[in-house]
């Protein structure tokens, strides 16, 4: 019998028969997860789309890496916090649209391991989750990448695929020199690293769906990617927001439920208004305890999980505006049960 991942320990008998069926049952039972958007954009505190919104050129944006120390990122404290909040899994941005990686990768040097941080933050969190029986879900930016030369461009996949630079970004491949297949294989290689180096993973959570929806989605070869993920770790669940192909294991729309056709659902939303990464200007406007409670209630009524995001501060520590609120919600769950 294969070793049961710690987060599936209560589903061992089913896991022995069908690992993905066990994972799907666990996911339906999990109810509540912690989402973390952390990266170079956190240093600026001006939204996770700051590179696109402010049209910061690739080389200039890359200078932020020199200040990425993550001295406040404490994986064990984060995992303990999630448990205290009655959350059963954590999802973290392994690589957002800016292409900066929080994990050690051989595909690029644009990573936390090569910054002053000098650490593999995903590895640290993977160990902390495994030790505590938490599921680890890995966010991965698929449809958008504002650094890779061969990532989707605006000419073919719409105006939000890349920042609208004038003059053009010199590092981007263009015209006949652009080859999306190079980018697709880059992503496959990185996802292989995520599935090879961090133990059992609960889900690969893909983002950037608007880009393939705006262009020839078949060129992204997503079903091949899904099949590859399942072949590497059969229990891993795959999502792509509200569903790109319809063959995803669960749907994960933003803010409100969608029709899932009987598949599991997860509503992702965020503590801070209008942003997922740390944004200084919305301090004091985050959700309060009763608002989070109502988000949980709405998710339960829709038979969905709630994946609730907080954007860590520039040093990687949890936002102190959100910490007491989420702890209070955890205490309320223990006292009253789940809202219905």
Q: For 145-197, what is each residue's pLDDT tens digit? A: 999 999 999 999 988 899 999 999 999 999 999 999 999 999 999 999 999 99
For residue 169, what is the DSSP state? P
SS3 assignment, position 274: coil
Query: What's the confidence (pLDDT) of residue 132?
Result: 98
Classify the phi-psi angles of 5: left when phi > 0, otherwise alpha if psi is within -120 to 50, otherwise beta: beta
Q: Where does the pLDDT of residue 1 fall: very low under 50, low under 70, confident under 90, or very high at 90 and above?
A: low
Cα dihedral: 313, 109, 194, 150 (round 10):
100
Domains of the chain: 33-336 (3.20.20.80)
Q: For 47-96, what is each residue's pLDDT tens digit? A: 999 999 999 999 999 999 999 999 999 999 999 999 999 999 999 999 99
Q: For 279-330, what is each residue's pLDDT tens digit? A: 999 999 999 999 999 999 999 999 999 999 999 999 999 999 999 999 999 9
Give the C-alpha separation, 108 to 232, whole Å. 22
């Amino acid at each position: 019998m294969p070793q049961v991942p710690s987060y599936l320990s209560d589903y061992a008998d089913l896991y022995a028969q069908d690992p993905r069926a066990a994972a799907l049952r666990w996911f339906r039972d999990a109810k509540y997860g912690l989402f973390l958007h952390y990266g170079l954009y956190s240093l600026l505190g001006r939204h996770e789309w700051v590179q696109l919104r402010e049209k910061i050129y690739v080389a200039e944006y890359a200078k932020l890496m020199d200040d990425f120390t993550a001295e406040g990122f404490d994986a064990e404290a984060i995992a303990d916090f999630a448990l205290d909040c009655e959350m059963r899994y954590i999802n973290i941005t392994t690589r957002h649209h800016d292409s900066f990686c929080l994990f050690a990768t051989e595909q690029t040097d644009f990573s936390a391991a090569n910054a002053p941080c000098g650490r593999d933050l995903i590895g640290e969190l993977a160990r902390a989750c495994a030790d505590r029986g938490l599921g680890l879900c890995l966010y991965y930016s698929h449809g958008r990448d504002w650094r890779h030369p061969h990532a989707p461009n605006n000419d073919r996949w719409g105006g939000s695929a890349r920042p609208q630079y004038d003059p053009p970004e010199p590092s981007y491949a263009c015209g006949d020199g652009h080859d999306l297949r190079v980018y697709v294989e880059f992503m496959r290689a990185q996802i292989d690293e995520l599935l090879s180096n961090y133990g059992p993973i609960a889900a690969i959570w893909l983002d950037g769906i608007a880009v393939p929806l705006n262009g020839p989605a078949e060129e992204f070869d997503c079903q091949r990617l899904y099949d590859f993920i399942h072949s590497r770790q059969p229990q891993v669940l795959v999502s792509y927001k509200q569903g790109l192909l319809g063959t995803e294991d669960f749907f994960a729309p933003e803010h409100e439920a969608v029709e899932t056709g009987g598949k599991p659902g997860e509503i992702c939303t965020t503590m801070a208004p209008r942003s997922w990464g740390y944004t200084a200007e919305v301090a004091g406007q985050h959700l309060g305890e009763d608002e989070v409670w109502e988000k949980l209630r709405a998710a339960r009524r829709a038979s969905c999980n709630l994946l609730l995001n907080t954007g860590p501060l520039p040093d990687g520590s949890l936002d102190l505006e959100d910490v007491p609120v989420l702890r209070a919600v955890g205490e309320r769950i223990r006292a009253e049960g789940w809202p219905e």
